[in-house]
Amino acid sequence: MSSRKEIEISNDEQITNFVQTSSKYYIKEFNKIGNSSKYVISFNKSAFLLGSLWYSFRNLWNWALAFLIIETFAITQIVRGFFGNISAEAYKKIDQIQSTIDFRQKQLEAAIEQNSDKVEMFQRTIKSLEDSIAGYVAEAQRIEASGIWIAISGIILLIVIRVIQSMSANTILEKRYSEWLSDKSISPGMKINNIILSVVFVLVIIIFSTIHYSFPNFMDVMKDFPTHPDIRLKSIAGVEGAFDYAVIKGDRIFDAITFGIRSVLDSLELLFVKTPWIVIISSIVLLTGLSAGPRAAIYSGAFLAYMGFLGFWIKAMTTLALLGTAALLSIVIGIPLGIYCSTRPRFYAFIRPIMDFMQTMPAFVFMIPVIAFFGTGKVAAVIITMIFGGTPVVRLTVLGLKGVPQNIREAAIAYGASKWYLLTKVDIPLAMPTILAGVNQTVMLSLAMVVVASLIGAKGLGQDVLEALQYANVGQGILAGIAILFVALLLDRIVQGKKRV
């Protein structure tokens, strides 16, 4: 009996430490919520009065932001309805039309003085503009008359959202308390810096939003971001100067990279394009059969026959050479880099934002510096493809190596395994499925760049798709797209093997 009371006292102390204010109220509500498996109705007066501020005070920012958006809309509707200049746009239109009428009136007077045959035309124009003004005046009056209903709808919405917040507050806070019990690093809120930040943030959002929508012409600075054209022009000049300097100083480096990529690309083009088609088909079918089985080999033969009969053979082989160069270089660089990153978390934390940038930046954007350094053509296409598709093999290599069970590694170390033996005989074999998934993703993402690469001079199947887009040639585009799909399926079956059959 005494131990149970001690547990209850300890739990009450924990709740007191967590909530910091109104501890008796929250102890009662938390116990009521925690002891029931069903939803418990619990009304929090502070949450009703403070609204989203209460949630931000408690460091429940995800809820605070969601409720703040709705509250801001409701408050804006109330202010617009009672005090706002809601018909400002209509009266602005009226002023514009009135200035046009004044101008036409002067033209009419001049036409009458000159006894011109355009008098009737000016009269009809003025009459039409006056009718338009009458319509806008009626619209402005209608909008002003609806102001009270706009305000009432805002009041109703504000009350409803406050009721929802007050009835959800204790349940949400009790859930955060349960998380806090297992992880004391979670901040329960109610700190002075959190309160100041919450008040400032909420006031900024509500005040400026309300002013902007209720009084459109009150603060001109809120219409457009305060900037100056010289800032943009100077930034453009600075970027161009930096690239010009890099091109001049790094000429030898770029030439060396171009030579290396060109060597691999020329070798693969010689292999795929110049070799007799029957040799290529036999080799690919055999390779697919050994990797993924006889059924996949039959499919690969059908895919290759499709490319040949429809006249896509040379372009498909050129695409394979381009893709093979990009994928091969990405894999040769990516797997060792992933192995290195798996044992050096700091270095991986450094390059991870770079890889995020490579994957999220649109291809047309990083195409610009690549063209500046390497010009247009196949080498630039290979580099762009590597930038876009090279990161998955690094990420999944790191993931696979970190996922190797520690007990297996410890057993190998206990038997005297060296670092090299541990890497080549334990870590890499166990991580191989994940690494192969990274290789597959790199190949597939590289293939997705086929059409984009054709924009800068890379030939192949992407060129047919690009021409079909330019000239609205539906048939050519669909057939070339299917050929690209078949190339992807071939590579997928060869890389993934029997796991995908």
Domains in the chain, CATH or no CATH each: 1-226 (no CATH), 247-500 (1.10.3720.10)
Do 200 and 78 form a contact (C-beta atoms < 8 A)? no
Question: Is the confidence at residue 234, as pLDDT, over 80?
Answer: yes
Which pLDDT does position 501 carry in this prediction?
39
Residue recorded with tokens 């008796």: 24
pLDDT tens-place string over residues 181-214 = 888 888 888 888 888 988 999 999 888 888 887 7
* C-alpha torsion sign, points 409, 413, 418, 421: negative
What is the mean predicted confidence (pLDDT) over 274-297? 84
The whole-chain average pLDDT of the chain stands at 82
Of the candidate ranges 41-45, 98-102, 149-153, 333-337, the one whose mean pLDDT is the lowest: 98-102
User: If pLDDT is split at 50, 70 and 90, which confidence band does 63 have?
Assistant: very high
pLDDT of 473 above 90: no
- Confidence (pLDDT) at 313: 86
- The mean per-residue pLDDT over the stretch 444-463 comes to 78
Choice between 108 and 306, residue whose per-residue pLDDT is larger: 306
The candidate with the shortest Cα–Cα distance to 271, out of 321, 323, 330, is 321
CB-based contacts of 283-288 (< 8 A; 24+ apart in sequence): 284/490, 284/494, 287/494, 288/490, 288/493, 288/494
Give the pLDDT score at 221.
Answer: 65
Residue 326's nearest CA partner among 184, 496, 444, 182 is: 444
Terminal CA-CA length for the chain: 64
pTM attached to this predicted model = 0.66
pLDDT at residue 452 tops 70: yes
68 close to 148: Cβ distance less than 8 angstroms: no
Residue type, 241: G
456, 380 Cβ separation under 8 angstroms: yes
Q: What's the pLDDT at 7?
A: 47
* pLDDT score recorded for residue 489: 80
Write down the pLDDT at residue 222.
67
Which is more confident, 85 or 384?
Answer: 384
Q: Is the pLDDT of residue 144 over 80?
A: no
CA separation for the pair 361, 39 (Å, rounded):
45
Q: Classify 144 as helix, strand or coil.
A: helix
Sorting pLDDT into bands at 50, 70 and 90, what band is 129?
confident
Q: If you average pLDDT over residues 391-400, what whole number do you get?
A: 90
Determine the pLDDT at residue 268.
Answer: 82
Rounded to an integer, the average pLDDT of 441-457 is 79
Which two tokens mark 408? 């297996």
Q: Quick one: pLDDT band at residue 283, thresholds 50, 70, 90?
A: confident
Nearest of 277, 294, 428, 452 to residue 363 by alpha carbon? 452
**Backbone dihedral region of 291: left (phi > 0), alpha (psi from -120 to 50 degrees) or beta?**
alpha
Strands in 87-232 per DSSP E:
none
Q: What is the pLDDT of residue 498?
A: 53
Q: What is the mean pLDDT of residues 54-60?
A: 90
Which has the higher per-residue pLDDT, 134 or 25?
25
Residue with tokens 């991870």: 352
pLDDT, residue 500, reads: 45
Q: Cα(389)–Cα(439) distance, rounded to whole angstroms?
A: 10
Whether residue 47 is predicted with pLDDT greater than 80 in this model: the reply is yes
376's CB contacts (< 8 A; 6+ apart) are 456, 457
pLDDT of residue 165: 93
pLDDT tier, 164 (very low <50, low <70, confident <90, very high otherwise): very high
Question: Are the C-beta atoms of 492 and 444 separated by less than 8 Å?
Answer: yes
Q: 107-121, 167-181, 336-350, 475-489: lowest mean pLDDT where?
A: 107-121
Burial of 370 (0-12, 13-18, 19+ CB in 10 A): buried
The model's confidence at residue 6, banded by pLDDT at 50, 70 and 90, is very low
**For the residues 319-327, what does the mean pLDDT come to?**
83
pLDDT digits (tens, 9 = 90+) for 331-369: 889 889 999 998 888 998 898 888 888 878 877 787 888
Tokens of 344: 């050096």
Give the pLDDT score at 2. 46
